[in-house]
Structure formats: C-alpha cells, structure tokens
Chain A
Amino acid sequence: MAEGKAASTLRVGTALRFVLPRWIAFCALCIVTGISMQVLPGMAERAQLYIDSWSHNLVFGDAMGSLTITELGYSDSDREVSPAVRFPLYPLMVRWAAPLFGGDTSLSAFWVSKIALLAGLVGLWVLVEHLHGAQHANRTTPYMLFPFLGTAYTWIYSYPEAAYLALWTWGFVLLFKKAYYGCALVTILAVWSRPHAVLILIPYALYLLIETYRERRPLGDSALWRAGLLTCGLPLIAFAAWVLHVSQISALPFAPITAQTEYGRAEQVVLPWMQIPRRLEYMQTYGVFAFNWTVLFENYQLISIMVSLILFGLFALWRRVPLVIVAFSILTIIPGLSTGIFAIGRYALLTWVPLAALYIVPPKYDAVLLPLLIGMNYLVLFVTEFSDAAEYVP
C-alpha cells in the first residue's frame, strides 16, 4: 500500500504535459537530421550512412553495435570482438518491437530509443521537481536534450543510453519516494541495460543507511534490511545472473568486463583524475597535431566534467544536492575515466552532470544559453562525425 501512496504523489501528468511537446519537437528534429544525412551531397559515401534509410543513418557508431545484438544476438567471442560488453535490455527490446515496424530494426531502434527518452525526460522532471521544485524541473528537459557536454547526438541517434536515462531517473524517484519494490523492479531492468549500471546500488545503499541514521533506527532494523534486499539485493542477483549467462554464451569468463579490453578499455587502468596529466602529456607529445576537433571536445568534456563533479561535491556539503546523487554521478563516471577518455561525454550524460547548468545559470539566461547549446551540439556533429579528420564523435 505504501507503494500506491508513493506513486500517487508523483506529478507524472504535469511532467508529461511539459515534456511531451518538447519531445515531439525533438523527434521531428531527429528525423530531419536523419533525412539530411541521407540527402546531403557526399554524406551517403561515409561509413554507416545510407541513401535509402533515414532511420539507418541514425544508427551510428555504438548504436550500430546494439543493433548488431538486435540482429544477431550474443555469441561466442573467441574469434571476434565480443558484443558482451553491451547489455541486452535495449537491443532485445528493439528486436521485440521490430515486427511493429515491418521488421525494420533501425526504425524500431529509433522509436524504442525515443520512447525511452520520453520516459527518461519525464523521470528527470519528476526527480528534479521532487528535489528542487517545478520551476527547475521545467529547465531540465532542454538542458538534458542539448547538454553543455555536446553529446546531444546520443539522443538524436538511436543510442541505448536513453533506456538507462529512463531507468536511473525512475529508480531514484521511487527510492526517494520510498517505493522500494518499484525501485527494485526498475533497477533490475537498469542493471540489464549497461554494465556499470550496477554501481547505482552503492548510492542506493548509502541512501538507505543515511535515512536509517536520520530516523535514528538501528542498523539491524528490519525495515532497512527489507529495503536493502529489495533495492540492492534483487538487482544484484539480476546483474550476476546476466553476467553468468552472457559469459556462458560468449564462452568468455566475466565477459562484460574481460571483453572490454578488445574495445580499448581496461588496457591501462588509472585513477580517474590522472586523465588530466595524461592528456597534457599527450598534447605535449603530439603538439599541434593533437588539436583536432575530437581532441578539443574531449578536453572540453574532461575539464567540464571534473569541474562539475567538484562543484557537486561542494553542493552536497552545502546540502543543495543529495549526496547520493553526487555519489551516483562520480561512480558512473569513474569506470569511463579510469579506462580511457573516449566517450566520457556519454558516461557523464547519464549522471547529474548535464544539470550542472541548472545550478550555475540563472533561469533568466536560459533563453540566451539554450540556442547556443543547440548550436554547440550540432557543431560537435558537423566538425567531428561529418568531417574528414575526426575518428568518432566524442
């Protein structure tokens, strides 16, 4: 019954009324982008771009990796780069939805990712409304769709990240509302969506301990253990079950972790902040050649992520942001930063980092900043993916 009461206080309808029109406009923008990639001269000759399918043009880079799982499933990895590093929820949802789109998996991927994005934006709105009120909640949608990290391509393309955005935001919403059973269900899905999603269990546990301490209950309190087993225990079992299952299919022990090496991760694990001196050393070694657009944006992302995390640390001390949200953000980013700088913008996108602007920029400047952010996010696409020099979109 507590679950029902908790859910009743959620302002989902209000959130949906605000988010839905912006989401529809964003979907239209995505379709226009896909069609542009189809018809602009020379675009179709680029790898992974097509002259006859706008939705396929939006299955780019890592999104293609997920679509491959949709198509081919997981398999033994002894002769190839193992797909086990990607988790099954999104690709298999795309597969299950494909019959609705005549078997066109790229079209299915587009709509599954966009519906997940809608759920994520609504979840984020509800979460921010719970923490900071409706005014700031209204600001989350544009700042998340066009983040200052320059990673809007994650939402424009049919990336699997949208699914995790929906799951971690709703996980925290239900946790904060003490709807532990619902939180457990959502988090079970979350740990099947990304390898590092399991790290969300640490801030969950931290939250339960803080609440127990705040309510002056003992550590042996049955309510704490019941909530802990639900929100942390069940998802952990679900995560372990998947790791075992995919390891068996892939014929590779602990495949989601060990297969990371084939993708260039985990070759040299360093402390996350060591990425800054390493990057400086890299630029010193390669000089002017290091200053292409990709490196430039990676540097920008690295610095802005570090600054944001320091800022959130201070905000947590001042109790302007829940400690568990900051812990969640740091824990999500650490695996990425410790194993390589690439795609770090996307790691940070699935944390509180994109919302740093809410805390820094006064609302009256939103109208000025947002067009600039839209421009910057498209600039990232134009000068990286659409250029001859860049290797990938940072």
Chain B
Amino acid sequence: MHETPTHPIPSLNVRQWGWIAITLIVALIGIGLFATAGTAFSEDGQIARRWIDAWCAGDWETMYDLSLVGDSLTREAFIGRVEAYMRDAGLELPCVGVLDLNLLRAIPVPLELADRVDSIRIFETAQLIQPDQRRYPLTVWAYRRTGSSEWRIYPDFLAPTIEQPSEPGAAAELIDSSGVLIGFVTVLDAAQVYTAADQVVIGVPLRIQTLMRPWEFYGSALLIGSERGFPVENVNQVPPALRRDFIGARGDYVAQNLHLNGMTWYRFEGRSTVDQPLTLTFWAHSVRTETSLSAYLNVATGAVAPLAWYPNPVTAMEQVGVRDPDLIFLASLTNPTDTTAVFQCASFVAVLQDGRWDAPEYCTFSPEPFRAAFAPGESARIEVRYNGLQPGDVAQILYRVSDEARLSSYIVWPAQSDSELP
C-alpha cells in the first residue's frame, strides 16, 4: 500500500474572519457610495428643476402637470395665471432657471394642510435669468401629498392651488417660511370699483393684523380672473376722494401687535369692466423670514362708479349778466366726496368765442375770494366774475383741476352731461 502524505487543512481564526468581514464592509460601502452618489433619496429636487426648466422653455403643460393644483384651477386658468404673472413681472422667454439645491429646507406642515400634505420643502434660492441677464428671484415650494410619494411644486405666487381662498369676513392666516403664524389678513367688505374708458381702479377694504413679530415687508395683488392688477403703493396714486384710510398694497415695516383697517388699491390698465371674480393675494415677511406662503382671499365686487380723479363739484351754472366791469356767472358747488375738498376759483376757465381762455377775476368764496374748503356734502352758491367780458364772448366754461400730469376737466356751462373730458 502506498500512503499519500496528509496536509492539515488551513483554517482562518476569528480575527482573520473579522478582518475579512471589515474588508467586505468597506468594499460594500465603497460600491454603495459610487453607485448611489448620483441618485436622489427624494425626488423633490428633480421635480423642482424640471418645473423651473419647463417654465423657462414656456412649456406650460409640463409646468401644470408638475404643479400642485386643486380642482378649481383648470389647465387653461393656470396657463392664464402664468402668463399674467409674467406680464406683471416683465418676464420674457426663453430664460435660464437656476435652482440652488444646496439651500433646500424642510418646512413644518401647517395644520390645515396636514390631512392633504405630509411634507413641505422650500428652495429659497431660485432665479429666472432673463435674456437680458436680469435675474428674477423666485421661491419654490415642493409639497408631497399624503399617501403619495409624488412631489409637486406649489406655485403659491400664481394662484391658490390647493387651499380654497378665504371668504370675506374670515381671517386668512399668514405663514412664514419657518411655518410660523405671523399674522392675519381679512377682507372686510365688498370692493369699491371705479371704471373709466381704459382703466379700472379697485379698492379692497381689509384688516391687517400682526402678531408678536413685526413684518419687514408685505405685499398683495388683486386678480380679476387671471389678470393681476398694478398694486398702488403710494397715496397720491389714487384720486384724492379715495385717499381716506389708504393702505399701500405693498409696504415695508409694520409693527408687531397691530390691527390696521383700511383700503388697498389696485389699478387694471386696458380694461373698463370687472367681468370675472376678484381674488386678493397677500403675503408678508417677518423678521429674518426671507419668504412666506401667499394667502388668498375672495373679494366680492361692490357698486361700480365712474372713475374721476377730481370729481365735478359743479351741479349747476348759469349766466347772470354784466355788472360792470364783470360778466357774472352763478355756480352751485357741492363736495361730492367723503373727504374735505378745496375748490379753487381759478378752476373756472372761460373759453371765449375766438378760442382764447380767460380766468375769473375772483369768486365770492368766503372768507377769501380765491378758494374755499368744503366739508363732505357741503353746498354753496357762488358768483364767478370775469373782468371785461360781454355775454356773447363766452363759448364755454370749464371746471379744470390738474395735479402734475393728471387733469380733470368738465364742461359746466352751457349745461352738459356730467362726464369728465378726456
């Protein structure tokens, strides 16, 4: 018998197995790093990027599909809102969308959304780079619906897409980007609508309420359907008669713990009627908050009145005759506004038959002859005296008031329909 030599089978001890295990773990980590580094754990960044790319490409269909919209906002209405927003902001296409994914933040879900939304992210630094290299900043909010893994972009600056707007009389909550309640806004009554041939001016009576933090900025916009109005920021941008309780539609600092009731005004150029529902959007930034969610409020349309910068106070005017050396007219004046108004004698301009204009010598205002202040609704009859004119010399008398570039002019004699001259 031939015996073959035997060799002991080599075996690994526990420590060697340990090193093998550690080697495998490091190898697996390495493979995992390289394989997953370019992938996303959540798709909100990709969705946000596709959304902003769709915007810049003018692909409204994709933008609508990637947006979180409610049943009330149809595809056509959404597209109308986007186009109106772009017109309002002076945006052009094509643009380049910039989205800083490093500045992604999670936001607490407001209680009223908790049943529909389980996660909110905000991309605070997003920009649309315009063809002229102008950078237009945006705030992009991504919402993930409860029970769904899908993220959608909440275009809060365009429309109330998932939350129904607050009704008049109900306070809408203002939530900042940390999810903190920073105040309320309430529409108190129907809007006051003033129309002219080429513009509509709408005033919205509302209440602004701040809480424990002052606001560094607030803004609002009014929409007729999808059309955004120009927000009036300064009181001299509305007719004097409408300036009572004025609140700028956009403004800076508002102190904490403040209730502010007043009117915000919006101007719509190129239209003469209000033929669609009104929606007010309002947003505010508290200290250290760079952005906030927009609140939306339904606004009822009130009585419509003609827009006049300075309404005509002359209810009647007649020629009395000559009391040498003056030609005398008797004018009935009433202050039609609900604020005190000052009427000037120089506002009565006589247009002579030969086309020349003449100003009154004086009026019988009291206590001094050239001007008088009238309380709301107050009336008076005064004489307007033109020196050296004869009864046949005057073709018309105009009541004219100008304020820098704005002019209101009415034919007050001979009697005309009570309309402002263009």
Seen from chain A, the residues whose Cβ lies within 8 Å of a Cβ on chain B are 1, 3-4, 7-8, 41-42, 44-53, 56, 64-65, 68, 70-75, 79-81, 83, 88-89, 92-93, 95-96, 98, 105-106, 181-182, 185, 188-189, 192, 238, 241-242, 245-246, 249, 388
CB distance from A35 to the nearest CB of B (A): 15
The answer to whether A80 touches B99, judged by C-beta atoms less than 8 angstroms apart, is yes
The answer to whether A50 touches B15, judged by C-beta atoms less than 8 angstroms apart, is no
The answer to whether A45 touches B288, judged by C-beta atoms less than 8 angstroms apart, is yes
Q: Of B31-39, B346-354, B384-392, which stretch is located at the interface? A: B31-39
Choose among B42, B98, B182 the residue with the greatest number of A CB atoms under 10 Å from its CB.
Answer: B42
Which of A47, A72, A80, A245 is B34 in contact with, Cβ under 8 Å? A245
Cα–Cα, bound, A74→B101 (Å): 10
| Chain B 29-63 interface mask (CB, 8 Å, partner A; 1/0) | 11011101111111011100000000000000000
CB distance from B110 to the nearest CB of A (A): 10
The answer to whether A51 touches B108, judged by C-beta atoms less than 8 angstroms apart, is yes
CB distance from A124 to the nearest CB of B (A): 20
The answer to whether A51 touches B41, judged by C-beta atoms less than 8 angstroms apart, is no
Chain B contacts for A242, CB-based, 8 A: 33-34
Asked if B13 CB lies within 8 Å of chain A CBs, one says yes
Chain A contacts for B18, CB-based, 8 A: 4
Chain B contacts for A388, CB-based, 8 A: 288
CB distance from B223 to the nearest CB of A (A): 29
The answer to whether A238 touches B30, judged by C-beta atoms less than 8 angstroms apart, is yes
Asked if B224 CB lies within 8 Å of chain A CBs, one says no
| Chain B 164-201 interface mask (CB, 8 Å, partner A; 1/0) | 00000000000011111010000000000000000000
List 25 A-B residue pairs with CB atoms under 8 Å apart, sorted by A's residue number: A1-B16, A4-B13, A4-B18, A4-B19, A44-B178, A44-B179, A45-B182, A45-B286, A45-B289, A47-B105, A48-B105, A49-B178, A52-B109, A52-B179, A65-B102, A71-B40, A72-B42, A72-B104, A73-B39, A75-B38, A79-B97, A95-B36, A185-B22, A188-B30, A246-B37
Choose among B102, B178, B286 the residue with the greatest number of A CB atoms under 10 Å from its CB.
Answer: B102
The answer to whether B40 touches A73, judged by C-beta atoms less than 8 angstroms apart, is yes
CB distance from B229 to the nearest CB of A (A): 31
The answer to whether A92 touches B36, judged by C-beta atoms less than 8 angstroms apart, is yes
Within 8 A of A (CB), among B1-35: 13, 15-16, 18-19, 22-23, 26, 29-30, 32-34
The answer to whether A50 touches B26, judged by C-beta atoms less than 8 angstroms apart, is no
The answer to whether B178 touches A92, judged by C-beta atoms less than 8 angstroms apart, is no
CB distance from B176 to the nearest CB of A (A): 7
Asked if B378 CB lies within 8 Å of chain A CBs, one says no
The answer to whether B98 touches A80, judged by C-beta atoms less than 8 angstroms apart, is yes
The answer to whether A249 touches B289, judged by C-beta atoms less than 8 angstroms apart, is no
CB distance from A186 to the nearest CB of B (A): 8
Chain B contacts for A41, CB-based, 8 A: 212
Besides A42-B212, A45-B286, 7 new A-B residue pairs in contact (Cβ under 8 A), listed by A number: A44-B180, A47-B105, A64-B104, A73-B38, A106-B106, A192-B33, A249-B37
CB distance from B20 to the nearest CB of A (A): 11
Within 8 A of A (CB), among B74-111: 96-109
Q: How large is the interface on B (under 10, 10 to 19, 20 to 34, 35 or more residues)?
A: 35 or more
Asked if B287 CB lies within 8 Å of chain A CBs, one says yes
Cα–Cα, bound, A96→B29 (Å): 10
The answer to whether A72 touches B45, judged by C-beta atoms less than 8 angstroms apart, is yes
The answer to whether A80 touches B42, judged by C-beta atoms less than 8 angstroms apart, is no
The answer to whether A73 touches B41, judged by C-beta atoms less than 8 angstroms apart, is yes
Cα–Cα, bound, A72→B121 (Å): 12
A4 touching B179 in the complex, CB below 8 Å, given contacts A48-B105, A52-B108, A89-B33: no
Say whether chain A's binding surface is mostly helix, strand, loop, or mixed.
helix
CB distance from B144 to the nearest CB of A (A): 11
Cα–Cα, bound, A388→B288 (Å): 9
A80 touching B101 in the complex, CB below 8 Å, given contacts A73-B39, A188-B30, A245-B34: yes
Cα–Cα, bound, A68→B41 (Å): 10
The answer to whether A73 touches B180, judged by C-beta atoms less than 8 angstroms apart, is no
Cα–Cα, bound, A72→B36 (Å): 10
Chain A contacts for B104, CB-based, 8 A: 64, 68, 71-72
Look across to chain B and name the residue whose beta carbon is closest to the beta carbon of A69: B37
A181 touching B96 in the complex, CB below 8 Å, given contacts A245-B34, A245-B37: no
CB distance from A215 to the nearest CB of B (A): 25
Asked if B290 CB lies within 8 Å of chain A CBs, one says yes
Within 8 A of A (CB), among B277-318: 286-290
Which of A44, A46, A72, A249 is B41 in contact with, Cβ under 8 Å? A72
The answer to whether A51 touches B37, judged by C-beta atoms less than 8 angstroms apart, is no
Chain A contacts for B26, CB-based, 8 A: 185, 188-189
CB distance from B287 to the nearest CB of A (A): 7
Which of B44, B99, B179 is A51 in contact with, Cβ under 8 Å? B179
Asked if B381 CB lies within 8 Å of chain A CBs, one says no
Cα–Cα, bound, A212→B37 (Å): 39
Choose among B13, B97, B179 the residue with the greatest number of A CB atoms under 10 Å from its CB.
Answer: B179
Chain B contacts for A44, CB-based, 8 A: 178-180
Chain B contacts for A241, CB-based, 8 A: 34
The answer to whether B32 touches A92, judged by C-beta atoms less than 8 angstroms apart, is yes
Look across to chain A and name the residue whose beta carbon is closest to the beta carbon of B34: A245
The answer to whether A83 touches B288, judged by C-beta atoms less than 8 angstroms apart, is no
Chain A contacts for B105, CB-based, 8 A: 47-48, 64
Cα–Cα, bound, A52→B106 (Å): 11
Chain A contacts for B179, CB-based, 8 A: 44, 50-52
Within 8 A of A (CB), among B209-265: 212-213
A182 touching B22 in the complex, CB below 8 Å, given contacts A72-B42, A79-B97, A81-B102: yes
Look across to chain A and name the residue whose beta carbon is closest to the beta carbon of B290: A47
The answer to whether A46 touches B288, judged by C-beta atoms less than 8 angstroms apart, is yes
The answer to whether A95 touches B41, judged by C-beta atoms less than 8 angstroms apart, is yes
A72 touching B40 in the complex, CB below 8 Å, given contacts A4-B13, A4-B15: yes
Within 8 A of A (CB), among B93-146: 96-109
The answer to whether B176 touches A98, judged by C-beta atoms less than 8 angstroms apart, is no
A181 touching B19 in the complex, CB below 8 Å, given contacts A72-B40, A79-B97, A92-B36: yes
The answer to whether B15 touches A42, judged by C-beta atoms less than 8 angstroms apart, is no
Chain A contacts for B100, CB-based, 8 A: 80-81
Look across to chain A and name the residue whose beta carbon is closest to the beta carbon of B108: A52
Cα–Cα, bound, A68→B179 (Å): 20
Chain B contacts for A71, CB-based, 8 A: 40-42, 44-45, 104
Cα–Cα, bound, A143→B246 (Å): 61
The answer to whether A56 touches B97, judged by C-beta atoms less than 8 angstroms apart, is no
Chain A contacts for B103, CB-based, 8 A: 68
CB distance from B112 to the nearest CB of A (A): 15
Cα–Cα, bound, A241→B42 (Å): 26
The answer to whether A68 touches B37, judged by C-beta atoms less than 8 angstroms apart, is no
Cα–Cα, bound, A52→B119 (Å): 12
Cα–Cα, bound, A181→B15 (Å): 13
Look across to chain A and name the residue whose beta carbon is closest to the beta carbon of B182: A45
The answer to whether B15 touches A45, judged by C-beta atoms less than 8 angstroms apart, is no
Chain B contacts for A48, CB-based, 8 A: 105
Within 8 A of A (CB), among B374-408: none
Chain A contacts for B213, CB-based, 8 A: 42, 45
Those 10 A-B pairs whose CB atoms lie nearest each other, nearest first? A4-B15, A72-B45, A52-B108, A249-B38, A185-B26, A73-B40, A72-B40, A88-B33, A80-B100, A81-B102
A88 touching B37 in the complex, CB below 8 Å, given contacts A51-B108, A75-B101: yes
CB distance from B270 to the nearest CB of A (A): 36
